Amino acid sequence: MQGDAGRGRRGPAFPGVRLERFRDLTLIYLEKGGPVLVVSCDSSGGVGPKEGDAVRVPGRVVGKFAARVALMEVMAAGATPVSLVNNLCVEPEPTGKEILEGVRKEARLVGLDPDLAITGSTEKNIPTIQTGVGITVLGLAWAEELRLGKSRPGHLVACVGVPRVGEEVVVAADAEMMDLLALRALMGLPYVREALPVGSTGIAREAAALAAGARCKLNLYPGVSLDLAKSAGPATCVVVTLEGGDDEELRRITGKPVEVIGYLSD
DSSP 106-156: HHHHTT--HHHHEEEE---SS--SS-EEEEEEEEEEEGGG--SS---TT-E
pLDDT band for 7, please (50, 70, 90 cuts): low
**HSE of 22 in the Cβ direction (CA atoms, 13 Å)?**
26
pLDDT digits (tens, 9 = 90+) for 75-119: 999 999 999 999 999 999 999 999 999 999 999 999 999 999 999
Per DSSP, what are the bridge partners of residue 133? 44, 88
pLDDT digits (tens, 9 = 90+) for 13-34: 677 788 999 988 999 998 877 8
Provide the 8-state DSSP code for 59: H
Contact 158, 261 (CB under 8 A): yes
**Stretch 229-250: mean pLDDT, rounded?**
90
Query: 80-88 and 118-121: which strand pairing?
Result: parallel
Rounded Cα gap, residues 48 and 264, in angstroms: 39
Provide the 8-state DSSP code for 95: I
**What is the secondary structure of 162-212 as a DSSP string?**
----THHHHHS-GGGS--HHHHHHHHTSTTEEEEEE--TT-HHHHHHHHHH
Rounded Cα gap, residues 32 and 184, in angstroms: 28
The secondary structure of 147-174, three-state, reads CCCCCCCCCEEEEEECCCCCHHHHHCCH
pLDDT digits (tens, 9 = 90+) for 137-193: 999 999 999 999 999 999 999 999 999 988 788 766 578 899 999 999 999 999 999
Per-residue model confidence (pLDDT) at position 10: 54
Contact 44, 235 (CB under 8 A): no
Per-residue model confidence (pLDDT) at position 102: 95
pLDDT band for 4, please (50, 70, 90 cuts): very low
**What is the secondary structure of 236-266 as a DSSP string?**
-EEEEEESS--HHHHHHHH-S-EEEEEEEE-
Contact 54, 47 (CB under 8 A): yes
pLDDT digits (tens, 9 = 90+) for 33-79: 789 999 999 999 999 999 999 999 999 999 999 999 999 999 999 99
Cis peptide before 94 (omega within 30 of 0): yes
Rounded Cα gap, residues 195 and 187, in angstroms: 8
The answer on pLDDT for 5 being more than 90 is: no
Write down the pTM of the prediction: 0.89
Domains of the chain: 2-145 (3.30.1330.10), 156-265 (3.90.650.10)
